[in-house]
A = this chain, B = another copy of it.
Amino acid sequence: MIKSITNKPLILVTNDDGYFAPGLKELIAMVKPYGDVLVVAPEQGVSGMSHAITIKSPLRSTLLEQNNGVTVYKVNGTPVDCVKMALNQIAERKPDILVSGINHGSNSSISVIYSGTMGGAIEGSLNKIPSIGFSLCSHRMDADFSLVKTYGEQIFTKVLQNGLPDYTCLNVNFPVISKEDFKGIKVCRQARGVWREEYDKRTDPHGDEYYWLTGNFSNGENGSTDTDEWALANNFASIVPVKTDFTDFESIKKLEAFNFSIS
């Protein structure tokens, strides 16, 4: 476990909806009482960027604001670029904690793999910084973040106090419900599920075809009550601990039985 410094922690904040997103502003307000806040966020909305990094074009960072313990930079890249730039170029010392979000839209189940919000959090955990990705299951720009702020603050402060296991971050999702209906915070596993993609095929004014990605989430679980999808559908917030070792240990023996040989 990494113990955080409780005397004026440095809090790194990022997201994938861009430095101007309402969810980011709510997150800054939530964590600001607990330390110095350094925001390094994409200059554009970059949803669905996963763990992408910018290799073939140069990055630029721009200081936008610095007052009352909050410093805001924008970077012309992905959430992972933002975290790398923060750690390697912008921050004067290693952050004590990283928060990413609050994402406009769910990142539960398999969405973790496509999520730029979670890309940023995972990059933090690779650097042994306790990291949390927060998402609200609503894509509305005027969504009500009050539930996330109230209970997200509890999750944040407990992680600030206790740290997290090395190379593990948290994928936190909140349902869109009232405080009265809210049932609590549940530690879960990632539900099995996939996106069933459909493309919306259109024809441009020049007669050429193009496609917009669309699709529906298909839950592959059979009523298990220990998944993030179950928690969210039953008025709980879900916390899934996410790790960065993708090895399928159970399959190693099966593959060894393939008897690869060079003779």
In the assembled complex, the Cα of A95 lies from the Cα of B220 at a distance in Å of 21
Q: How many copies does the complex hold?
A: 2
A5–chain B nearest beta-carbon distance, Å: 19
Whether A198 pairs with B88 at a CB distance below 8 angstroms is yes
**What is the chain B residue whose CB lies nearest that of A204?**
B58
A262–chain B nearest beta-carbon distance, Å: 5
Chain A 123-144 near chain B by CB (<8 Å), digits 1 or 0: 0001100000000000000000
- Where chain A touches its partner, the secondary structure class is mixed
Judge if A94 is at the interface, Cβ distance under 8 Å. Answer: no
Given known contacts A162-B258, A201-B89, A244 and B113 CB-to-CB distance under 8 angstroms: yes
Q: Which residues of A contact B (CB under 8 A)?
A: 45, 47-56, 58-61, 78, 80-81, 84-85, 87-89, 110, 112-114, 119, 122, 126-127, 151, 154-155, 158-159, 162, 164-165, 167-168, 170, 182-185, 187-190, 192, 194, 197-199, 201-202, 208-213, 239-252, 254-256, 258, 260-262
